[in-house]
Chains A and B, each alone.
Chain A
């Protein structure tokens, strides 16, 4: 195994592993940013830095890197690359070289994002980059635009690749109704990426043109309009939530079904109602990010209804998950604990989103810690727990070895406790008025003890995550051999050896008429 082989690989599994390593590195950096912010907020007034710009740069990096460098690449890069060809019985993806290009671009994007710390005047415009501030700041807005464009391009060519792969490279006998839920979810996510990423690309290109080339798209003094940017940005960035949500809930379906040895409840309801419903509604709800931005009233009311309707497909998927647990046979392995954690914590995240769908309620809680707590429950807690569940679940497959079950569980319970301490407290003080993106909360001295509690919680969370990552590193080097199918799953990726060779199977697999990825047989 040499480095050159890895860098120039076109094997979908190695490309996936490269995505995994890059996204976990990004996760570590963005996590350290979160710890720096929590340390800063542990007292009123300056704590570890007396320059608010430092705090704003941490905040920018945390948001942009967690979303664009960790979650989207881990889900649509690592899991999609590693699992989809194996799950559909293909030797590789349709365009292996294009796949290699996408991971190279991803690394360029991650390096650009990390270079934030080494350039003068790093971006301090939040991950949203709203003008007019982003066009008048001394921070480097171009850095932001290029990072987003490169990561966006990587994900578009990944999307083309996977849609083609699933359309044309399924094993003989693999009909659409025999696809794993994860494959369906990822297809939905890539459809959304292909439609909406170009809009984000437009938005970030236009702010850099405004700032550096003298155009006036967003300058009202010269005929532009400030709100246009916010519309363009969220026209992508709300669907981006589903680009993250769909694959992560797909991972949770795979993990729960495998470790409960139970078929997915009402498969067609989950696929057509759940995934299909989300893809259909994804583009009609972006205005709920602009409820206090001065949007037209009719748009705010109209998208209140569409936003509330998101509860229908999401609710169907939750019924699918809980129905899968009914009369099942649950083994409380580490991946299963993380997956069950997603079910409970996503419940909190989803339900606390209902008041945020109502513009009149949002007038008070928008831009407060309530919103931050809510979306961290959905993305940071549920999303990251699902990614961790998936890495633990497929760990025996991609490494050929077993992780340490005891340390896995210790890590899970620490992260579970830590995330609830941090994000529940966040929602609580948000309702009482604590605004987000504050370097100093001198006007809200009553929240100091809550901030200190959250700082402690963030520390617990960090220890839990570090234990998990160390568990994988140690397991990959010297864990005991895991065997080809440690969970006893009928899904195709478990029918080949661990780790799978180049080409995946000695001869191409075909599937029988009575085969299904969730057909667990009594023996």
Chain B
């Protein structure tokens, strides 16, 4: 786990302060038109994860130190045989409920507000995107490009263009997990789910199944290959040619599965 000890103090107070203003910033985040530039959820994830981990580390260390100090000071000795059990006045008893509730609630709402902003980045798919259908099955990932080209366990995409996957399953539950892009979503029969990711640079990324789908679950894996735009175009041309040659005798009717319509991603 990422653990950092920088910025120890002030984090919680920052959280409390921020919570006081979060309602305003929250509303404006939701209302403002989404920026033209692409908000890569994976980078947003790295940022928010780091921040939350730093926060909980500080809270945890503070709490543990206080506890350890009480335990050390209160060990049983010859002249400390029975605890003092200090009694609280009614006002103090109420304060010990109300003040912690406000502190915890501030941290909760601050975290929730940040989580919601990132959530919107995860669910709002940029309009300029490559849209691919995915049918998962025991035990493969079957991708279909808009022009009918199909691949299995290997998704080739151009660098610099957001990719949207509309997913369904022909048998059991599966979950298309791309660790490098910090995203996964289950696919299942009868519903269409979606996820998107932003392959900024050329490279290769592992895809693996994250929802128990059957005996060979742990072997259900694939690759996402991000190519520079020109190489991608060349690859696609070659695939199209092959597809035309192969599908000449029979019409390439994409077998649309019966089921509920897709949850429409918001247009930007």
Give Cα A220–Cα B193 distance, bound, in whole angstroms. 15
- Contacting residues, chain A, for B88 (C-beta < 8 A): 266
Is A367 in contact with B82, judged by CB distance below 8 angstroms?
Answer: no
CA distance A292 to B193 in the complex (A): 10
Interface flags, A112-156, vs B, CB<8A=1, else 0: 000000000000101000101100110000000000000000000
B71 interfacial contact with A, CB 8 Å: yes
- Whether a CB of chain A sits under 8 angstroms from the CB of B232 is no
Number of A-B residue pairs with CB-CB distance less than 8 Å in the complex they form = 257
* A467 on interface, CB distance cutoff 8 Å: no
Residue in A closest to B67 when the chains form the complex, CB atoms: A322
B132 within 8 A of A: no
Q: Does A227 contact B (CB under 8 A)?
A: yes
Output the nearest chain A residue to B179 by Cβ-Cβ distance: A433
Q: Report yes or no: A361 in contact with B105, Cβ–Cβ below 8 A.
A: no
Q: B171 and A322: CB pair below 8 A?
A: no
B221 in contact (CB, < 8 A): yes
Which listed residue, A126, A292, A357, A359, touches B119 by the CB 8 Å rule?
Answer: A359
- Please determine whether A311 and B107 come into contact, CB atoms closer than 8 angstroms: yes
Cα distance A487–B118 when bound, in Å?
52
Q: How far is the CA of A360 from the CA of B184 in the complex (A)?
A: 10
Closest to B189 in A: A220
Contact A355 B53 (CB under 8 A): yes
Q: Is B224 an interface residue (CB 8 A)?
A: no
Chain B residues whose CB sits within 8 angstroms of the CB of A427 once the complex forms = 1
Knowing A294-B193, A361-B52 are in contact, say whether A260-B74 is a contact too (CB < 8 A): yes
Within 8 Å by CB of A316, from B86, B100, B112, lies B100
Contact of A325 among B53, B74, B188, B189 (CB under 8 A): B74
Interface centre among A133, A227, A428, A437 (most CB of B within 10 A): A133
B136 contacts the other chain (CB 8 A): no
> Which residues in chain B, 154-212, are within 8 Å of chain A measured between CB atoms?
171-173, 175, 177, 179, 182-191, 193, 195, 206, 208-212
A227: contacting residue among B80, B109, B188, CB under 8 A: B188
Q: Which residues of A, 35-83, contact B by the 8 Å Cβ criterion?
A: 52-53, 56
A347 near B83 with CB under 8 A, answer: no
B: contact size bracket: 35 or more
Looking at A401-409, A438-446, A470-478, the stretch in contact with chain B turns out to be A438-446
Q: In the complex, A455→B76 CA distance in Å?
A: 38
Given contacts A329-B80, A355-B53, A361-B115, contact A443 B208 (CB under 8 A): yes
Which segment of B58-66, B141-149, B236-244 sits at the interface? B58-66
Assess the A316–B97 pair: CB atoms within 8 A: yes
Report whether B45 and A360 are in contact in the complex, using a CB–CB cutoff of 8 Å. Answer: yes
Cα A305 to Cα B78 in complex, Å, equals 49
Residue in B74, B104, B217 whose beta carbon sits within 8 Å of that of A330 in the complex = B74
- Contact check: which of A226, A432, A442 meets B188 at CB < 8 Å? A226
Are B217 and A347 in touch, CB under 8 angstroms? no
Q: Is the CB of B189 within 8 A of A364?
A: no
Judge whether A366 and B171 touch: CB under 8 Å.
Answer: no
| Cβ contact within 8 Å between B173 and A343 | no
Using A316-B100, A326-B74 as known contacts, say yes or no to A347 and B64 having CB atoms under 8 A apart.
yes
A421 to chain B, nearest CB (A): 14
A318-B63, A322-B70 known; A263+B212 contact, CB < 8 A: no
- Contact present for A354 and B45 (CB under 8 Å): no
The reply to whether A443 and B76 contact each other, CB–CB distance below 8 Å, is no
Assess the B190–A225 pair: CB atoms within 8 A. Answer: yes
Interface residue? B259 (CB, 8 A):
yes
Which A residues lie within 8 Å of B253 (CB)? none
Query: Any chain B CB within 8 A of the CB of A301?
Result: yes
Per-residue CB contact flags for chain B residues 86-104 toward chain A (1 = under 8 Å, else 0) read 1010000100110011001
Q: What separation, in Å, do the CA atoms of A52 and B70 have in the docked complex?
A: 49
* Chain A: minimal CB distance from B146 (Å): 23
- Taking CB atoms and an 8 Å cut-off, the chain B residues in 42-78 that contact chain A are 44-45, 48-49, 52-53, 56, 59-60, 63-64, 66-67, 70-71, 73-76
A268 CB within 8 Å of chain B: yes
- List chain B residues, Cβ under 8 A from A503: none
Query: Is the Cβ of A364 less than 8 Å from the Cβ of B179?
Result: yes
Which of A136, A328, A355, A361 lies in contact with B83, CB distance below 8 A? A328
Considering only residues 328-364 of chain A, those with a C-beta below 8 Å from chain B are 328-332, 340, 343-344, 347-348, 351-352, 354-355, 357-361, 363-364
Cα distance A396–B219 in the bound complex, in angstroms: 52
The distance from the CB of B246 to the nearest CB of chain A, in whole angstroms, is 29
CA distance A428 to B66 in the complex (A): 26
Report if A507 contacts B (CB, 8 A): no
CB contact between B75 and one of A219, A330, A364 (< 8 Å): that residue? A330
A358 with B52, Cβ < 8 A, contacts A294-B186, A432-B179, A435-B210 known: yes
- Is there contact, CB below 8 Å, between A351 and B59? yes
Nearest CB of A to B28, in Å: 17
A431/B2 in contact, CB under 8 A: yes
Interface pair B86/A266, CB less than 8 Å apart: no
Give the nearest-CB partner of B57 in chain A. A351
- B209-242 contact mask (Cβ, 8 Å, vs A): 1 or 0: 1111111111101000000000000000000000
Residues of B within 8 A of A315 (CB): 100, 104
A4 within 8 A of partner (CB)? no
Shortest CB-to-CB span from A275 to chain B, Å, is 13
Are A220 and B190 touching (Cβ within 8 A)? yes
In the bound complex, residues from chain B placing their C-beta under 8 Å from that of A53 are: 215
| B175 touching A292, Cβ below 8 Å | yes
Q: Is the CB of A292 within 8 A of B173?
A: no
**Interface membership of A24, Cβ < 8 A:** no
CB atoms of A311 and B183 under 8 A apart: no
A505 part of interface (Cβ distance < 8 Å): no
Verify B111–A520 contact, CB threshold 8 A: no
Given contacts A361-B48, A427-B1, contact A126 B212 (CB under 8 A): yes
**Contacts A326-B70, A361-B49, A364-B183 given; does A305 touch B108 at CB 8 Å:** yes
Contacting pair B45 A260 (CB below 8 A): no
Chain B residues with Cβ below 8 Å from A326 are 70, 74, 86
Query: With A130-B173, A312-B104, A340-B71 in contact, is A329–B185 under 8 Å at CB?
Result: no
Give the residues from 194 to 232 in chain A that come closer than 8 angstroms, CB to CB, to chain B. Answer: 219-221, 224-227
Q: State whether B186 touches A137 (Cβ < 8 A).
A: no
Report the separation of the CA atoms of residues A227 and B185 in the bound assembly, to the nearest whole angstrom.
Answer: 13
Chain B residue nearest to A429 in the complex (CB) = B1
Q: A226-B188, A343-B67, A361-B115 are in contact. List 7 more A-B contacts (CB 8 A).
A: A225-B190, A294-B185, A315-B104, A328-B70, A329-B82, A355-B49, A433-B179
5 closest A-B pairs by beta carbon, nearest first, are: A220-B190, A262-B83, A433-B179, A358-B115, A328-B83
What are 23 residue pairs bridging A and B, where the CB atoms are less than 8 Å apart in the complex?
A: A52-B216, A133-B214, A226-B191, A227-B191, A261-B82, A292-B184, A304-B116, A309-B105, A323-B96, A325-B67, A325-B70, A327-B83, A327-B85, A328-B74, A329-B82, A344-B64, A351-B56, A360-B121, A361-B45, A363-B183, A367-B175, A431-B1, A520-B83
